[in-house]
Amino acid sequence: MVTSTRHIRNVVLVGQSGVGKTTLAEALLHRAGVTNRHGSVDDGTTALDRDPESIGRGSSVSLAVASFDWQAPDGETYRINLLDSPGHPDFVGDAEAALAVADLAVLVVSAADGVEVGTETAWRACAERDLPVFVFVTREDRPRADFEHVVADLTAAFGDGFTMLELPLGEAEAFHGVADVLDERALEYDASGHHHVEPLPDSIVRHEHEVHEHVVEEIVSGDDDQLERYLDGDEPTGRDLERTLAAEVVGRQAFPVLVGSGTTAIGVDRLADYVCEVGPSPADRATIAKDGESMIELKADPDVEPVAVVFKTVSDQYVGRVSLFRVVAGTVRADATLIDTATGSTVRLHAPFTLVGDRHTPVDTLVAGQIGAVAKLDVATGATLASSDSLSVPTPTPPSAHLAVALVPATQSDDDRLPDALQKLVQEDPSLVVEHDALSRRTVLRGVGDTHLAVALARLSGRYDIDVSTEPVRVPYRRTITRVATAEGRVKKQSGGHGQFAVVSLRVEPLARGAGIEFVDEVVGGAIPKQFVQATEAGVVDALSVGGPLGVPVVDVRVVCVDGKTHSVDSSDMAFRTAAAHGVLEAIESASAVVLEPIARLEATVPVETQGDVLGDLGARRGRIVDSRIQGDRQTITADVPLAEIQRYSMELRSLTGGRGSFTLGAIHHDVLPDHLADEVLDQYRV
């Protein structure tokens, strides 16, 4: 295995879901001799999508890693760590994790479909991280393939800098090879994905030469010395151009565009060649870390103290929990002992290995920049492992999990095993959030979208044999009062053994919104002893928190205990708790109670052209627009919207914006629900 940081390439495949990223990855693995056959997504035979959920759906639902060696045309052997990220928006958490440890993104675009929503999302994500990008236009063998139209679309959508290093020889069913723009030659491919060099066909010579001149001028313009020689008539060689292009790629001044097909493997070897010879190594890009209170840059130097970041946790059917990590700095050796800087605990990296999907290859050493894995490591996803507990490497924040379902276990056994299984799912996928709804006494599972939750539930069933059904999550309505009222709570049982006796006189008063529950003792003359006053307060708080028979908690109320009666023998804490509960609920019903609904501060970012539809939709949801501002081609809309109206807003906003919109939810407050809607809510609770 390669041990030089300069010869490591960490590459993530990104783009629209279903565009062929996994097919391309499989072609690379087969062409590199890692697999003995070209895996098929449709047949469920890929080396990377090995989990039942990906196989069943015919689409990646989690991040996969494949590490392999590649001998490039320069004669050097490189180690490519290929990260195949899911393109579905529900699994953006895994895509973000992959981007965080990659040094180069390959944006995979369909020659037939061009720039799609997922293309735009992936491009923005790379730009936000200042990540270098190659473009691979795949499916050039498909009907409607139009390579140069795709390049024009990319330029129109994202600006200049797309540098065509290849042109297709034929298109659609006639696609049979590529034209090398830098060296001006044709590469004809056979059925095994290997190519041989031929002269350019007459039909493409003129156009290819025009593209060659344009590309050469673009590349040399980034190097003053090379530009001067070029203007003096010194034509640079392909290797000279590649060296200049490599510097421009690191600086995101150039985005090389290659063409091929993952299905036929045409152009796949050329992609690997360019990744090695033009793509950046870990040594070309520093990692930002926090050392105490200071932010520092960590260079990928194998000779310093080791630092590693756990970017993904997976569940392996044979070895259990597997932690995937990147060595940020230093060298990690087998049985190394490091500190989990988040917890301060010491961990031992016993028997590290590299991955090709679920296939493990043991290694003794992993140098700076390398990606590896270790089993049974008790650390969280995102953990920094270092020799000093003051050091930490920031990792992506999991995406907001706005879609929720309540879980209903089928049996007591399912209920008993559910917490442990959910904990393992969250370890593997931090985008999932598990909560407990105290009122319904249900476990609530939150995810990014419908598919995200469906996959999590499928894993509960298939992996952990836990049977659960789902139901909607209860909206946290509250009630409050609008006027002062009084009531007397009474418990009297003074026959047939030990009796119970308590009488409390209570007054309820409305408080400002958000004030909660306040209890005031105004008893005089010792009518109620102090210990029974405390029991009275406990009974009041319990009754209001539970909400009585309706189960809707009461808030923003001051309860004043003004008087009461006791019995020297039969009074007790329990009697006063019970009397207080009865009395306060009776008083609430006499105080013109109203229903409060939760209102969320929503901030949606959408394309400008969809703002009218989004604003109209928010109005229909009883939303109140707070702010609206435009930044470029994106509009950010801030609104206060009833939580009950946006339970599935993550899915509905996608529909309104063609998948281009996103939103976050901020602070939640409560406000009075209109009477006609309040009656509907209370009727549901009465049932």
Which is more confidently placed, 112 or 227? 112
Task: Please write the tens of the pLDDT for every residue from 347-364.
Answer: 999 999 999 998 999 999
Which is more confidently placed, 629 or 495? 629
Question: Cβ contacts of residue 627 below 8 Å, gap of 6+?
Answer: 636, 637, 638
Query: Does residue 233 register a pLDDT over 90?
Result: no
Q: How large a percentage of the chain has pLDDT more than 90? A: 86
Average pLDDT over every residue of 400-420? 96
Q: How large a percentage of the chain has pLDDT more than 70? A: 99
Q: Where are the alpha helices (DSSP H) in 58-138?
A: 92-101, 117-128
Q: Which of 70, 158, 177 is nearest to 109 (CA)?
A: 158
Rounded to whole angstroms, what are the CA distances from 296 to 291, 350, 469? 7, 29, 48
Q: Where are the beta strands (DSSP E) in 363-514?
A: 365-367, 371-375, 384-386, 391-392, 403-409, 433-437, 442-447, 468-471, 478-480, 485-493, 500-510
Amino acid at 477: Y
SS3 628: strand
pTM of the model: 0.91
Q: What is the pLDDT of residue 496?
A: 63
Q: CB–CB of 460/528 below 8 Å?
A: no
Alpha-carbon distance of 68 to 2, in angstroms, equals: 10
Q: What is the pLDDT of residue 403?
A: 95
Query: Does residue 1 register a pLDDT over 60?
Result: no
Q: Which helix (H) or strand (E) holds 258?
A: strand 255-259
Q: CB–CB of 594/478 below 8 Å?
A: no
Q: What is the pLDDT of residue 681?
A: 86
Query: Does residue 263 register a pLDDT over 80?
Result: yes
Q: What is the pLDDT of residue 680?
A: 85
Task: Please write the tens of the pLDDT for every residue from 450-476.
Answer: 999 999 999 999 999 999 999 999 899
Distance of CA 337 to the CA centre of its chain: 30
Instruction: Give the side-chain half-sphere CA count within 13 A for 647.
Output: 11
Average pLDDT over every residue of 418-436? 95
Query: Does residue 47 register a pLDDT over 60?
Result: yes
Q: Which of 478, 546, 559, 480 is nearest to 512 (CA)?
A: 480
At 206, the pLDDT band (50, 70, 90 cuts) reads very high
Task: Please write the tens of the pLDDT for every residue from 9-18.
Answer: 999 999 999 9
**Which domains, ranges and CATH numbers included, belong to the chain?**
5-284 (3.40.50.300), 287-392 (2.40.30.10), 403-471 (3.30.70.870), 478-592 (3.30.230.10), 596-686 (3.30.70.240)
Query: Does residue 267 register a pLDDT over 70?
Result: yes
Using the Cα atoms of residue 215, residue 217, residue 223 and residue 225 in order, give the sign of their dihedral: positive
First and final C-alpha spacing in the chain:
67
Average pLDDT over every residue of 474-491? 95
